[in-house]
Amino acid sequence: MDSILVRGGTELSGDIPIAGAKNACLTLMPATLLSDEPLTLTNAPRLSDIRTMTQLLASLGAEVTQLQDGQVLAMSSHDINNLTADYDIVRKMRASILVLGPMLARCGRAVVSLPGGCAIGARPVDLHLQGLEALGATLDLKDGYVHAEAKSGLKGAVFEFPFVSVGATENILMAAVLAKGTTVLKNAAREPEIVDLAQCLRKMGAQIEGEGTSEITIQGVDRLHGATHPVVPDRIELGTYMLAPAIAGGSVTCLGGRLDLVSAFAEKLAATGVDIEETATGLTVSRKNGRVRSVDVETAPFPGFPTDLQAQMMALMCTAEGVSVLEERIFENRFMHAPELMRMGARIDVSGGTATVTGVESLKGAPVMATDLRASVSLILAGLAAEGETRVSRVYHLDRGYEHVVRKLSGVGASIERVHGE
């Protein structure tokens, strides 16, 4: 099994290109099922999750061709010949549930396995199902599969999410674009990935208003046509690489980075004493004056501090001056990286959804194990600041969300390499 070897103590300098957003691309890809005309995505990230979604779409009859070294996805769903999303594929990735709404809207029927993914809490699909039922779908859960049907087509409705859910907002939004009449989604998610999806669907002929706010209105149309759409830059990859010079020292420009995608995170990072400058090419992040200051963090739905940057921020707080409190409000069971950071000398006390971090002057390299996607990169970041050598094992998690992480970090001076297992 592969591992990543990091030798700390080197300041960083240079440019890191930011890829297209994994979570946006995984949402945009199922949109091809809504039309019999081609949908082309540019700026696509090259990740294992994208390959899994490609495999899932192909199993349903869609054609997906990777062009320009995988950065362009040319898709066509003119012939959907299978309405069952099988467990063997869906179990690998929670985003697979996003084929449910589009298939149901276009074909009137779908059978989708309940999904898998990172072990960071229950993350049930109840809201997806409740929203589709509000649009007139009949649902039955049998043997681990959702059997969905809308014999007379979906119908517009008003649906209020009892709590904010990005995935459920995406799924119901896609279903509603082909429903008869008007759909209003209240307490909808506001993430940039939702805005990106709405913009793509609008290019395909959908009538959508209000994306980026808590109320989205969709006027159903009879059919969608083809389109070409660029995937929005990955705000989580952006935040991760903004933390690299903050942890290791130096100055790095994140090419293609936009402040509006990470405003809450950038505000906290700046409060630690790190300099952030928005330029014509991206965001330049610099730390040149000793240790950073501790800050408290509370994760929240967008535009709040992203849960997907909590583990990486904790790595920075491990060597900050003072005591910081990190509260995880989105997913339970998301401090599994804390014991691994403690193996490197970090002082962390976890109680329920709260982690208290007392900064130390330096971390020590150690063998550590990744437990999920964001935890894996947090350990790599910690390794950049640690004395000696850090070996991160189980890095297959990393391949789901970060393309060429070794190449990107070594390109700005980090001593990092991937060691292939037997």
Q: Supply 303's token pair.
A: 């535009």
CB-based contact 348:341 (threshold 8 Å) = yes
Q: Does the annotation place 17 within a ligand binding site? A: no
Q: Supply 360's token pair.
A: 């130390």
Residue 126: helix, strand or coil by DSSP?
Answer: helix
Q: Does the annotation place 23 within a ligand binding site? A: yes
Q: Does the annotation place 308 within a ligand binding site? A: yes
Q: Does the annotation place 90 within a ligand binding site? A: no
Q: CA 101, CA 132: separation in Å to the nearest integer?
A: 7
**Is 118 an active-site residue?**
yes
- Half-sphere exposure in the Cβ direction for 365 (13 Å, CA): 16
Q: Does the annotation place 333 within a ligand binding site? A: no
Q: CA 27, CA 367: separation in Å to the nearest integer?
A: 35
Q: Supply 178's token pair.
A: 């082909």
Q: Does the annotation place 231 within a ligand binding site? A: no
Q: Using CA atoms of 291, 296, 302, 303 in order, give the dihedral in degrees to the nearest 10.
A: -80
Q: CA 5, CA 320: separation in Å to the nearest integer?
A: 23
Q: CA 56, CA 7: separation in Å to the nearest integer?
A: 38
CA dist 19 → 46, 234, 333, 368 (Å)? 8, 6, 28, 27
Q: Among the options 25, 118, 200, 318, which is catalytic? A: 118
CB-based contact 136:154 (threshold 8 Å) = yes
Burial class from Cβ neighbours inside 10 Å (0-12, 13-18, 19+) for residue 418 reads: middle
Q: Supply 252's token pair.
A: 């790095």
| Annotated binding-site members for phosphoenolpyruvate | 22-23
Residue numbering of the annotated binding site: 22-23, 94, 123-127, 308, 330
Catalytic residue numbers, as ranges: 118
Which residues make up each annotated binding site for UDP-N-acetyl-alpha-D-glucosamine?
94, 123-127, 308, 330
